[in-house]
Structure 1
Amino acid sequence: MRTKPTGRQLRLGTELRKLRERAGLTATEAGQLLGSKQTLISNIEAGRAGVSPERVRTLACQYDCDDNALIEALAGMTGERKRGWWEEYREIMSSALLDLAEVEHHATHLHTAITVHIPGLLQTVDHARETFRQVVPDLAPPAVEHRISFRIKRQTVLYQDQPTPYVVFIHEAALRMQFGGPAIARAQLRHLLDMSERDHITIRALPFDAGAFPGSGQSIYYSRGPVPQLDTVHLDQSHGPVFLDAEAQLHKYRVLLERMEARTLAPEKTRDVIHAIARDL
């Protein structure tokens, strides 16, 4: 029995619970259909008990789910035996940050909209270090270095053999923030330009003259799963990451991102803006 299920294990349990509830079954009734106890169903749905791909398919059949793409996506969440690299940080980083790395690792597409920061996946080491130096309460130097190491390892999703497609909407305000002074800021902007040349990365700026726009004042991080029902929204709060996966919430943030895109500059014009800001530093 697991005592500390990962975010992915919890998500699998949540989706199985949703299927059961749509079928109008209690955990006790579901257990009876499987010839098992209610506690097994409850433990599976809480992420405390493992479940095989075959049992997922059996549960989906008992719940009258005929969405084969969803069923196979859920079955695919069960069989991972290898520990992810983020588990190395289990004792020194919050579980929410480990869950974020796990979501990124399994995402089929990543999409960020951000107003006052450079996205973590595109930060240089020096920019990241300056960011973590501003955390309240202050972090000890070793903790800062652990955070930097963790953030840089998260970036491997953009460098692997089959890199994850990544779309970024970034406000001009974030591009003009001089974290660490002009030299560090200039190097950060050059890094954005270099990354924007990669085929799987799209960076689009929201200029000041775009005015008001949907979703202003918040950062949105949208991770697509193998099927839309398994998408995840990550909101970065001062007290830590928050994850959203309810259907209505996912729809809301898809619409927000679509509307924001209409206010952004094309990638080519975005590069022109970044070049101009870097020259002015």
Structure 2
Amino acid sequence: MRSNPTGRQLRLGAELRKLRERAGLTSTQASRLLGVQQNQISNVEAARAGVSPDRVRTLACHYDCGDKALVNALSNMASERSRGWWEEYRELLPAALLDLAEVEHHAERLGAAVTLHIPGLLQTTDYAREVFRQDVPEMAPPDIEHRISFRVKRQAVLYREPPTPYRATIHEAALRMRLGGAHVTLPQLAHLLDMSERDHVTLRVLTFDAGTLPGSGQSFYYSTGPVPQLDTVHLDQSHGPVFLDSGAQLDKYRVLLGRMEASALPPDKSRDLIHKVAQEL
């Protein structure tokens, strides 16, 4: 039995539960179809126990799920046995941060819509250090350094081969906020410009003059899975990351992400504005 299931293992169990409930079956009825004890279904759905890819396909068949793409994606999730680099931080950082790295690692595409800070995957180490210094309660210097090294390793998804496609909409306020002073902000803006030139990175700026702020300015991150049902929204809250994955929530944030992008400057004009902000510092 697992004592500390990962976020991805929990998601697999939750998706299997959704399939069962959509089929109108109780866990007891599902266990009878498989010829197993009822608690085995409960343990799988709670990620306390693993499940094989073949068993996932059998469950999907019993649940009358005809979505082959979804079944294949769930089977692939079940086949994963090794844990990623983030496990070395298991005793150092909150579990939710490890789950975030796992989601990003497996994402087909990544998106961000932020208003007050540069997105974490685009932050320099000095900028990230200033962000972490603002936390309440104040973090000890070693804890800050752990957070920074973890953030840098998360950024590897943008540099691996092939890199993960990344789209970010950043409000002009985040560009003009001189976090840490000009000696921190200028290199950060230069890094944004450098990243924006990469083929897999699309950067847009939502200006003060846009006259709109979809979602009331809430910052969020969107990870696209192999099928739409396995997308994930990440909200960066003061008490830690919050993950959303219900169909209604995913639909809402897809719309918000689209509206933010539509209201922002195109990539070329966004780069021009970042240049201008840097020159004004």
Match of 1:136 in 2: 136
- How many residues get paired? 281
| Separation of aligned partners in 2, 1:24 and 1:237 | 35
Alignment of structure 1 residues 257-276 onto 2, 5 Å: 257-276=257-276
TM-score computed with the length of structure 2 as normaliser: 0.99
Q: In structure 2, the residue corresponding to 1:262 is in which secondary structure?
A: helix
Aligned position for 1:238: 238
- Residue 215 of structure 1, CA deviation: 1.4
Counterpart of 2:222 in 1: which secondary structure? Answer: strand
Q: Which residue of 2 aligns with 1:82?
A: 82
Query: Which residue of structure 1 lines up, in the alignment, with residue 191 of structure 2?
Result: 191
Contact 1:128 1:148 in 2 (8 A): yes
In structure 1, the partner of 2:121 is 121
Asked if 1 retains the 8 angstrom alpha-carbon contact of 2:212 and 2:263, the reply is no
- CA distance in structure 1 between the partners assigned to 2:257 and 2:144 by the alignment: 32
Can you list the C-alpha shifts for 1:157-192, whole angstroms capped at 9, x where unaligned? 000011100000000000111111111100000000
Which residue of 1 is the match for residue 174 of structure 2?
174
Deviations 1:9-52 (A, max 9, x none): 00000000000001110001100100001100000000110000
How far residue 216 of structure 1 moved from its aligned partner, in angstroms, is 2.9
In the TM superposition, 1:160-171 aligns within 5 A as: 160-171=160-171
The separation in 2 between residues aligned to 1:165 and 1:26, in whole angstroms, is 40
For the 8 Å contact 1:97–1:241, the answer to whether it is kept is: yes
- Equivalent pairs: percent with the same residue? 71
The alignment's TM-score, normalised by the length of structure 1, stands at: 0.99
What amino acid sits opposite 1:38 in the alignment? Q
Partner residue of 1:103?
103
Root-mean-square deviation (CA, aligned residues, Å) is: 0.6
Q: After TM superposition, give the deviation of residue 261 of structure 1 in Å.
A: 1.5
Indicate if the aligned counterparts of 1:157 and 1:164 stay in contact, CA closer than 8 A.
yes
| d(CA) in 2 for partners of 1:272, 1:105 | 31
Q: State the AA in 1 paired with 2:195.
A: M
Please state how far the C-alpha of 1:270 moved relative to its aligned partner: 0.3
Distance 1:144 1:114 in 2: 22
Distance in structure 2 (CA, Å) of the matches to 1:34 and 1:19: 15
Give the 3-state SS of the residue equivalent to 1:82 in structure 2.
coil
What is the one-letter code of the residue matched to 1:92? Answer: L
Native 8 Å contact 2:172 2:207 kept in 1: yes
Letter aligned with residue 227 of structure 1: V
Does the 8 A contact of 1:130 with 1:180 survive in 2?
Answer: yes
CA deviation after TM superposition for structure 1 residue 82, in Å: 2.0
Amino acid paired to 2:68: N
Is the CA contact 1:113–1:221 (under 8 Å) kept in the aligned structure 2?
A: yes
Are the counterparts in 1 of residues 110 and 167 from structure 2 also a CA contact under 8 Å? yes
Amino acid across the alignment from 2:238: S
Gap regions ≥5 residues in structure 1: none
Q: Write the distance in 2 (CA, Å) between the matches of 1:82 and 1:109.
A: 22
Please show how residues 8-87 of structure 1 align to structure 2 within 5 Å: 8-87=8-87
Q: Which runs of 5+ in 2 are unaligned?
A: none
Alignment correspondent of 1:211: 211
Q: In structure 2, how many angstroms separate the alpha carbons of the residues matched to 1:219 and 1:213?
A: 11
Give the aligned residue type for 1:34: L
